[in-house]
Amino acid sequence: MKKLLSLLICATLLTINAAALPTMGELTAKSAALYDANGQMLYEMNAEEPLQPASVTKIMTLLLAMEALDRGDVQLDTLVTGSAHAASMGGTQIWLKEGEQLTMDEMLKAIAVGSANDCAVAVAEHLAGSEDAFVARMNERAQELGCTSTTFVNANGLDADGQKTLTSARDLALISVELLKHPKILDYTTIWMDTIRGGEFSLANTNKMLKSYNGLIGLKTGYISEAGFCIATAAERDGMTLIATVMGAPTKEDRTADAAALLDYGFAHFAPYTPDLSAALLPLPVRMGQGETVAVQAEPFSPVVVAKEEAEQVTTEVHLPEQVEAPVQAGQALGEAVVKNGEKILLTIPLTAAEHVERLHFDEIYRAFLRAALMKQDS
């Protein structure tokens, strides 16, 4: 009987075999990346080069805000006060006044929809005490997410006085993947037009792809002259969410065209794949148990994205022992289902016990032995 160790990782995703796919058309941007919402890389072009992201920086500010909301550190009706520093921000803003208070909800709306630099700093100061302390959190979180080309220097991407925020198309995709784990963010990134300050100040989304691209759900645009036109965008179609990041496009139109081309490529050539686990979920015999079998369950997982051209090659291997020894605890690791494309592992799904099975006590074993002996005599 094969002994299997308890698994700590629910899913392991690898990159698609790009050589088996049609090539991407020419892009105008300096770098670009296409990922699915599970963090699976589908396409990259110069994706690890550190470049300035401009206001796309704010996806990290929004991520930290969403995480603070989830922890209960703040609520949507929490009042956030504008400081003199926040009010001094230039660029796109809502002209926040020193001492002015807006709810966290209004601040997030202004950041996500209107790309308000002043509100991004106000939220940063509220959550961390100062913008510098918040930036330290931004960089720490980036490292936790596996970002390798990222250095944040402010909360909004409005670089000035020698500042230079740096990140990459790949890193922006990883941050976007994490941001989309918070469904509340879509309440903001999908807004086309809205108001704050009791209807006195109008907001119009800087991401015009919301109206021009089918299924778009966000996320953030950016531009300063040093960075060019940048975007981290996401779209949902046919049960699949894709993230496209573009950095250093020459014009706004080029940025839109590149992002649309990436998403079009993804939806044309990839599809979500849910493995058939029927063979993995059959009851498993239990030795010395009060029940003869234990029900097997698969731990929650998301469909893996596969190239449509390779879908027929995908197989699922089930690794389970022939039987398990009682007692069995509910949730106990029993084995795994491995989804593969050839020799490449696409997804590993832990298989666990769906119920508890007690071990037979001595008197129960003795009675069972007597019954078996008597039945043998009667025959």
Residue in 31, 83, 109, 115 annotated catalytic: 115
Q: Is the Cβ–Cβ distance between 335 and 4 less than 8 Å?
A: yes
Task: Give me the sign of the Cα torsion angle 222, 227, 229, 230.
Answer: negative
**Coil/strand/helix, residue 292:** coil
The reply to whether 225 belongs to the active site is no
Q: Which residues 6+ apart lie within 8 Å of 48 measured at CB? A: 148, 149, 168, 169, 170
**Coil/strand/helix, residue 333:** strand
Q: Is the Cβ–Cβ distance between 42 and 270 less than 8 Å?
A: yes
Least Cα distance to 335 among 351, 354, 357 occurs for 351
Residue in 55, 83, 149, 168 annotated catalytic: 55
d(CA 281, CA 335): 11
The reply to whether 212 belongs to the active site is no
**Coil/strand/helix, residue 372:** helix
Residue in 30, 31, 58, 109 annotated catalytic: 58
What pairs with residue 249 in β-bridges? 229
Q: In what order do the strands lie in the sheet with 41-45?
A: 41-45, 31-36, 240-249, 228-237, 216-224
CB burial class (10 A; 0-12, 13-18, 19+) of residue 183?
exposed
Q: At 229, list the tokens.
A: 């036109």
Active site members: 55, 58, 115
